[in-house]
Structure 1
Amino acid sequence: MTGGQDGAREGEGRLIGRSVPRREDPRLLTGRGRFVDDIALPGMLHAQFVRSTVAHGEITAIDLSAVRAVPGVIAAFTAEDLKAGDIVARLDRPPQEFVPTAMPVLARDRVRYVGEPVAIVVARDAYAAEDGVEAARVRYAVRPPVTSEAAALADDAPLVHAEAARNTLVDVELFATDGIDEVFAAADRVARVEARTGRQNALPLETRGAVAHWDDREEQLVLHTCTQVPHQVRTVASRCLQLAERAVRVVVPDMGGGFGLKCVVGREEIAAAAAALRLRRPVKWIEDRKDALSASFLAREQRYDVRAAFDANGRILALDADVVCDMGAYSCYPFTAGIEPLMAAAEMPGVYTVPAYRVRGRAVATNKAPSAPYRGVSRPQYVMVMERLFERAARELDLDPVEIRRRNLITSFPYTGVNGITYDPGSYRESLDLCERTLRAEGWYERQRTARAEGRYLGIGYACFSERTGYGSAAFAQRRMAVVPGFDLSEARMDPSGAVTVTTGTMSHGQSHETTLAQIVADELGLDIDKVRLHQGDTDRIAYGWGTFASRSVAIGGSAVRLAAGRLGDKLRALAAARWDVPVDRTALGRGEVFRRDDPDTAIGYVELAELAYLRADLLPKGIEPGLTATASFDVFNDGTFSNATHGTVVELAPDTGRVEILRYVCVEDCGVAINPQVVEGQCRGGIAQGIAGALFERVTYDAQGEPSATSFMDYKVPTAHEIPDVAIHHLETPCAFTETGAKGAGEGGTIGAPAAVLNAVNDALRPTGVELDDTPITPETVHRALHRRHYQESTR
């Protein structure tokens, strides 16, 4: 074991695998959390943005004279005033596959969506800033907007960016297996699904925000912001503002959710920093909910046209997919507009043994707010489509929908798919079997038969999927990103009191890092968890990190933390061994001390060793340096790790309203070693709630002029606790061979499986009507029409 820890000495004290209470909760639940909006600095000013009121147009004039005359307004800046550089994200792909587009910090000559920031107003208080925004006068030469992917790809479509022909930012064709057309021609059945998914908002409880100020002593711009990627914000801020990276410090306080929305760099936080730099006074910007709903980063609006060839026994023979993702007006940094189509194209075969595959993935620009990654990133969509294909094939081949899945699931590992990805061991078949057994044992199949006999519409649906987690540098490099995320760095430091501070380049926004990473360190060092403190979210205190996204925090960040703690343990053992004049391999760690393996009663406590390392350097043995610190890095150089799950759902449809009620939800998940099972369950439940939201409720639409329809919670339908069912969670455990703890990621799985499971259950309930639905969200109007059609058919027989 790394660090020479003696598991027998710890005995029942091991923390990994235990539901240790969240260490964050006492602070957060008693109002002692510190979020961006809690920050108040002397002389602080407040900023808001003048935003475009048209979706597409040339800016012909900006008049801020009345703004500057508003009482309390200190300054108002246009792009010309700030002179900040553009935010540009790139892929290292040829021009026919990727077109880079510059996103200005403030719009200069043209606006490309309603809500695009045109100017920043800085005032003594937030109210004066809002008054100043109202006084701005901007004139536009309005152009026709592009408001759908179909309109964007039309031959005569207006161009959102002149450099992007047919409004196409990404266009890749991958994995075209030789002879795939002949496979389809000879297949016994070809199932086809055409599906669309609605545009969504990640909707973190805390909206975006920033507080920026110039520190004269450090000659540094300090930017407090709620971001998942502090080092990436530092890089972009330094480039846009022409500062050395050393001259920019990004600090993340407590953060109320992110879900991917905050893992890209926003223009507003850079503009607020530019204003603070210009005025040499602190500037705060807090996004209001209207802007968060309509002008922040959105996601999920995708169109799929997919065929699958099957033999007579229900085995899949080939998959042919065309994916178009509406990415809005700009590429996000650092992932670009390729984030959604490349994810879908690379990973669509998922948990199934697909022998032949061809896919085209496109990202198109429209006059809508730009898209960013959102929990799951295309996997909720392509899993939904794959699961619909199996349901459709099962019906056409007269097979049980669970059995057809069994015949196609990957069961032999490691498995290298037709997409070139190697899947590490998982419990794909086992999770499906347990999920089905659970629903059968609870009597839901009998209840369904009874309901149908009574004319009620009750359906059962499943979704099988994997969640690729622990993306390392190799996996991101396959997408040919110009900025390649992957590794993480950690430092473990013991102070003279024997307490340990460990750093991580990941960034918690609700995932319990302060608890789970401390569990890893405490176990590695044989130390009480109360002696461990995690530090995150400060670019001056953490050497470098890629932040938190793609379920990487425990898989990548946790591995780096464990290695750093192990190396710190090695230093403690070396110091004790030198004191005893014995070989290091005769020492071990446990219960806050180093002890001799050959004489366990001989031990030196960490406090004594720490005092020696810091306070009595004169007594240090030759060759032992003062201090107790250690650093480590971790990366995954294969295709990543794969968590997996099966979701089973029971729904009932109300014929009078079309309402979908979820009666039962079962999740069988396998994320490898669960560091803290309660935290894993919290991730599952939260993800499932967001997946249900996409399946049944949430959608941002636009009118013909590009005006967003959902600018408040009156229009953007968010599920409440009443609509989210209790979720039964069962754990399986297939330890990961590629991480230091055996853990795989668990952050996105709930969201990935829920839309498919819910949609399949709705279609199972609708089976007597002969109607099938493939689009989400599934609105009551859609369900009501389907049921009305059934009643009409019966009444006219």
Structure 2
Amino acid sequence: MPGVPGAGVPAAPGRGGRLVGRSVPRREDPRLLTGRGRFVDDIALPGMLHAQFVRSTVANGVIEAIDLTAVHEVPGVVAAFTAGDLALGDIVAQLERPEPEFVETAMPVLARDRVRYVGEPVAIVIARDAYAAEDGLEAARVSYAVRPPVTSAAAALAAGAPLVHEEAAHNTLVDVSLCATDGIDEVFAAADRVVRVDTRTGRQNALPLETRGAVAHWDDREEQLVVQTCTQVPHQVRTVAARCLRLAERAVRVVVPDMGGGFGQKSVVGREEIATAAAALRLRRPVKWIEDRKDALSASFLAREQHYDVRAAFDADGRILGIDADVVCDMGAYSCYPFTAGIEPLMASAELPGVYKVPAYRVRGRAVATNKAPTAPYRGVSRPQYVMVVERLFERAARELGLDPVEIRRRNVITDFPYTGVNGITYDPGSYLESLDLCARTLRDEGWYERRAAAAEEGRHLGIGYACFSERTGYGSAAFAQRRMAVVPGFDISEVRMDTSGAVTVTTGTMSHGQSHETTMAQIVADELGLDIGAVRLHQGDTDRITYGWGTFASRSITVGGSAVRLAAGKLGEKLRRIAADRWGIPWEETALGRGRVHRRGDPAVTIGYPELADLAYLRAHLLPKDIEPGLSATATFDVFNDGTFSNATHGVVVELDEGTGRVEILRYVCVEDCGVAINPQVVEGQCRGGIAQGIAGALFEQVTYDAQGEPSATSFLDYKVPTAHEIPEVTIHHLETPCAFSATGAKGAGEGGTIGAPAAVLNAVNDALRATGVELDRTPLTPETVHRALRGLPEPAA
């Protein structure tokens, strides 16, 4: 790669006997696979009560009355509260300062005067068991003055549409424009070819295996409200709970046990966990709430519903000249905390040019309020959508210009790094061209192009599709500050502490919900200190034990959190070396760490073990030099002060379409990914495979729709079509490695790439299979009905 020595080379696992780069077995697995994991629903406290929520049955209405009289008479019911009973503050996602492009809206913990979507919590019922709580819900009586709902972004933006929030004119919560190039209209007017894509993506549920839940109780001894909940952001839950309940922040402790997935849905603060905490505080008894699957599907945070109208200008040789985009994101009824309703349109607007050298760019991005469950981040956040749009533009341009789809990408991908794009973002080194070439070569060498030609002669429909993209990861404070939120995530803090036996405890502000942090963080620390991995233990998800943390989202855990962990371990290692050097009367630079000992360089016979050094540091501290404090611990912080780090990948897909049913069968899936140094390649592959499965789900299966009254269509797995192992193909993954210059480990994020690339690659493959029909499809999910119509030469139904 020009200007980047060693970029994009095949990954070399476990260099020099180090743990980083090796597929060390997951340390979490023995506990989780033998049923010894402890999830929220496993928690049982003495005297514990159970909670469920009375939810709105209308999408838009004024609450006229809430009658809970009969609820109190239900056997087993202990209490029932409305918003007025609990007097809670609102959850408000704010900007740092007022902005004309942003409308701030408050989300009440329990609806007070107005409901804005079906499933919005109106009251909480507390009972001795979960069944009595459900019975209590049926006895609640809520009357509404029903108003017409708006159930699509187009309807919300229409003249005279009902307002979801009176303060949001035209139902627009965020409206940002960026014209990065003067004279862009002239660029399009002079172009040899202008292509356009008008695409829509379906509303999805992140669908973690474990639904949301919380157990809260008051600790008299500590004078503290303890909330155990499955959240990706424990410190943010603590902050919001304290504010809503009007408590000092130290009076709230949030603890996260094992967690069965999150995918972004749990990276925001939910209303139900705050209401559960409020009920426990009011009753001074433990209260548990576990979300049932119906509520999880219909009333939890959703994502993805977006509309893109984008055109691109090309010259005669297929080089892109400019992009002009209009992006509309249906954000549902409220802004989420802390990311606001700007999370999707701001992401799309800033990063849409992606891996391509786009010289001219103009975009308008809007977040629109509708009477639907609110939107939260979901794995990839807008990138699966805008990557799909951009990749469709290149496919369409290739077809119209008579170019090979891979070749037109080759002519446009970024190859010189660092590269500052027309969007003002600087991309760190990556292997964009290398990953594209390897992916395409793999499918060619396997003979899929010949099979496609043979299938066409037989009247079958085989197609090959690609998606080439980058994944911005490791967002630091500088990147998040550009969004002007009042809450600016970014840094992470870690403490590494050694006890007198030489064992190490590590804390991190990140929060694992399946990403193997107990393994990967331990690999980093063990390498840095020269320890056996079994001597390292990770603590996470406890706001009293972790100084502060932003949790896990946006592929930041290893890039940011892992860097803080390595720096803290490095500080502790230096302290060990200084103590040993003092004992030997030599400069500390003449020492090294390895195998649980400090060695003198050049004389391996001179060593001292960590337990002996720990004994000095704790039990005989009077023998330490005056400039070294007693104890063995070190703390470090890490932040990314540039535009972030960019992982990249190319996905290649082969599909066959069934002419009789419209079914899309994926015959081959190849992923070539580069996330910098892969701390644990097996974990990275697991992230890729899981993400690809979710991306395929969005491309072919999953969608939440609403009827004219705002009633969601998918309240069970009978209606919400989740792919099984039968629909997900085997995936071949090739690793390239371009070490990150901005993280302490050389790693970039890997959590979202699979989800980002899959929809575009699948859609392009389907369109390639349809090439003889003259029909092109641009909306997902691709239902069998739509594909069946296309095979008969019929276009997509109007939106």
Band the TM-score falls in, shorter-chain normalisation: over 0.9
| Structure 1, unaligned runs of 5 or more | 1-9, 792-797
Quick one: distance in 2 between partners of 1:652 and 1:625? 67
1:375 aligns with 2:365: no
1:524 aligns with 2:541: no
Quick one: distance in 2 between partners of 1:790 and 1:377? 32
The percentage of aligned residue pairs carrying the same residue is 86
Which residue number in structure 1 is paired with residue 255 of structure 2? 251
Q: State the Cα distance separating 1:155 from its structure 2 match.
A: 1.0
Aligned-partner residue type, residue 386 of structure 1:
V
Quick one: distance in 2 between partners of 1:402 and 1:624? 60
SS at match of 2:332: coil
1:182-581 matches, cutoff 5 A: 182-581=186-585
Which residue number in structure 2 is paired with residue 655 of structure 1? 659
Indicate if the aligned counterparts of 1:24 and 1:514 stay in contact, CA closer than 8 A: yes
Q: State the Cα distance separating 1:261 from its structure 2 match.
A: 0.1
Quick one: distance in 2 between partners of 1:47 and 1:583? 62
Which residue number in structure 2 is paired with residue 589 of structure 1? 593
Aligned-partner residue type, residue 493 of structure 1:
R
Which residue number in structure 2 is paired with residue 609 of structure 1? 613
Quick one: distance in 2 between partners of 1:381 and 1:113? 25
Q: State the Cα distance separating 1:482 from its structure 2 match.
A: 1.1
Which residue number in structure 1 is paired with residue 640 of structure 2? 636
Indicate if the aligned counterparts of 2:83 and 2:122 stay in contact, CA closer than 8 A: yes
Aligned-partner residue type, residue 658 of structure 2:
A
Indicate if the aligned counterparts of 2:773 and 2:792 stay in contact, CA closer than 8 A: no
Indicate if the aligned counterparts of 2:774 and 2:793 stay in contact, CA closer than 8 A: no
Which residue number in structure 2 is paired with residue 739 of structure 1? 743
Q: State the Cα distance separating 1:461 from its structure 2 match.
A: 0.1
Quick one: distance in 1 between partners of 2:426 and 2:246? 42
* Aligned residue among 62, 81, 91 for 1:87: 91
Q: Deviations over 1:456-499 (max 9, x none)?
A: 00000000000000100000011111100000000000001100
Q: Deviations over 1:585-639 (max 9, x none)?
A: 1111111000111322100000111111112223333333211010000000000
Quick one: distance in 2 between partners of 1:495 and 1:176? 55
Q: Deviations over 1:80-132 (max 9, x none)?
A: 00111000001246543000000000000000000000000000000000000
Which residue number in structure 2 is paired with residue 138 of structure 1? 142
Quick one: distance in 1 between partners of 2:225 and 2:305? 37
1:704 aligns with 2:704: no
Moved more, 94-103 or 306-315: 94-103
Quick one: distance in 2 between partners of 1:790 and 1:700? 25
Which residue number in structure 2 is paired with residue 774 of structure 1? 778
Which residue number in structure 2 is paired with residue 3 of structure 1? none
SS at match of 2:452: helix
SS at match of 2:415: coil
Quick one: distance in 1 between partners of 2:408 and 2:449? 18
Quick one: distance in 1 between partners of 2:18 and 2:712? 52
SS at match of 1:306: strand
Runs of 4 or more off by more than 4 Å in structure 1? none
Quick one: distance in 2 between partners of 1:357 and 1:617? 63
Quick one: distance in 2 between partners of 1:581 and 1:524? 24
Indicate if the aligned counterparts of 1:175 and 1:419 stay in contact, CA closer than 8 A: no
SS at match of 1:418: coil
Indicate if the aligned counterparts of 1:231 and 1:547 stay in contact, CA closer than 8 A: yes
Q: Are the structure 2 counterparts of residues 121 and 453 from structure 1 closer, same or farther at C-alpha, using a change threshold of 3 Å? A: same
Quick one: distance in 1 between partners of 2:111 and 2:55? 9
Q: State the Cα distance separating 1:790 from its structure 2 match.
A: 7.3
Q: State the Cα distance separating 1:11 from its structure 2 match.
A: 8.4
* Aligned residue among 689, 692, 707 for 1:688: 692
Indicate if the aligned counterparts of 2:180 and 2:422 stay in contact, CA closer than 8 A: no
Which residue number in structure 1 is paired with residue 677 of structure 2? 673
Quick one: distance in 1 between partners of 2:127 and 2:575? 53
* Aligned residue among 169, 174, 185 for 2:173: 169
Q: Deviations over 1:649-695 (max 9, x none)?
A: 00000000000000000000000000000000000000000000000
Tell me how large the CA RMSD over aligned residues is. 1.0
Aligned-partner residue type, residue 310 of structure 1:
F
SS at match of 1:345: helix
Indicate if the aligned counterparts of 2:96 and 2:487 stay in contact, CA closer than 8 A: no
Q: State the Cα distance separating 1:789 from its structure 2 match.
A: 2.9
Aligned-partner residue type, residue 733 of structure 1:
E
Q: State the Cα distance separating 1:582 from its structure 2 match.
A: 1.0
Indicate if the aligned counterparts of 2:97 and 2:486 stay in contact, CA closer than 8 A: no
Quick one: distance in 1 between partners of 2:620 and 2:132? 59
Q: Are the structure 2 counterparts of residues 304 and 11 from structure 1 closer, same or farther at C-alpha, using a change threshold of 3 Å? A: closer
Which residue number in structure 2 is paired with residue 789 of structure 1? 793
Which residue number in structure 1 is paired with residue 8 of structure 2? none
Q: Deviations over 1:217-257 (max 9, x none)?
A: 00000000000000000000000000111000000000000
Indicate if the aligned counterparts of 1:766 and 1:772 stay in contact, CA closer than 8 A: yes
| Structure 2, unaligned runs of 5 or more | 1-13
1:23 aligns with 2:52: no
Instruction: Return the TM-score normalized by structure 2.
Output: 0.97
Quick one: distance in 1 between partners of 2:703 and 2:342? 22
Which residue number in structure 2 is paired with residue 4 of structure 1? none
Q: Are the structure 2 counterparts of residues 33 and 84 from structure 1 closer, same or farther at C-alpha, using a change threshold of 3 Å? A: same
Q: Deviations over 1:547-583 (max 9, x none)?
A: 0000000000000000000001011011111111111
Q: Deviations over 1:367-414 (max 9, x none)?
A: 000000000000000000000000000011111110000000000000
Instruction: Return the TM-score normalized by structure 1.
Output: 0.97
Aligned-partner residue type, residue 284 of structure 2:
R
Q: Deviations over 1:519-558 (max 9, x none)?
A: 0000000000000000000000000000000000000000
Indicate if the aligned counterparts of 1:671 and 1:743 stay in contact, CA closer than 8 A: yes
Aligned-partner residue type, residue 73 of structure 1:
V
Q: Are the structure 2 counterparts of residues 648 and 563 from structure 1 closer, same or farther at C-alpha, using a change threshold of 3 Å? A: same
Q: Are the structure 2 counterparts of residues 95 and 478 from structure 1 closer, same or farther at C-alpha, using a change threshold of 3 Å? A: closer
Which residue number in structure 2 is paired with residue 794 of structure 1? none
Aligned-partner residue type, residue 282 of structure 1:
P
SS at match of 2:134: helix
Which residue number in structure 2 is paired with residue 122 of structure 1? 126
Q: Deviations over 1:275-319 (max 9, x none)?
A: 000000000000000000000000000000001000000000010
Which residue number in structure 2 is paired with residue 180 of structure 1? 184
Quick one: distance in 2 between partners of 1:185 and 1:482? 41
Aligned-partner residue type, residue 609 of structure 1:
L
